[in-house]
Amino acid sequence: MLWCANCEKFYADGLSACPECGGELSEQRESTLAFKKLFSHHDNWPTDENGEPVPPVYLKTVTGASEVTYELEAGLLEAYGIPVLRNYTALGSFGKIVLGFSGTGMDILVPETMYEDAKALLESRPEEEAEL
C-alpha cells in the first residue's frame, strides 16, 4: 500500500501520484506524523518490537447501497479482535457526507500481522450452511 501524507489516505500499489491531490505517494508512511495519528484511536492496533504500529494492508473493498453493508464486515472483524481502518475510495468520503454512505465503496485495511486471520474469517460460512 502507498500512503499520501497530504490526504492521509492509502492507495493501491502501482500509482505514481495521489489520485485526489496529485501529491507524492510513499511507502515510508511509518515516518509520517499523519500515519501515526491514524492509530491514536486504535487501542488494540498491534505494534512491532519498536513500539511502532504494524503497517496496515488492504483486505478488500466492500460495496453496497448503504453504510450498514460496509459496517457489517468491518464489525465482524472488530468483534473477533481484528482492528480495522476504513478508507473511502475516490470521492467516497464526500459521498458519505452528502448521502450518508460512500457510493464508491469502502476499503478495509487490517494489520499485516492479522491479514490471514481476517481473510479466513470473511471467507468462512455459518455452521448450518456448511452442513448442507
Query: How confident is the model over 45-100, as pLDDT tens digits?
Result: 888 888 888 888 889 888 766 667 778 888 999 999 999 988 776 554 555 555 55
DSSP 3-state assignment of 44? coil
- Is a pLDDT exceeding 80 seen at residue 23? yes
Mean pLDDT, range 27-33, rounded to an integer: 55
Find out whether 10 and 87 touch, Cβ atoms under 8 Å. Answer: yes
How would residue 44 be classed by pLDDT, with cut points 50, 70 and 90?
A: confident
Cα–Cα dist 93/108, whole Å? 14
Cα–Cα dist 41/100, whole Å? 22
Cα–Cα dist 23/65, whole Å? 31
For the chain, give the mean pLDDT.
Answer: 76
The residue that leads in pLDDT, 34 or 108, is 108
Instruction: Identify the pLDDT of residue 3.
Output: 77
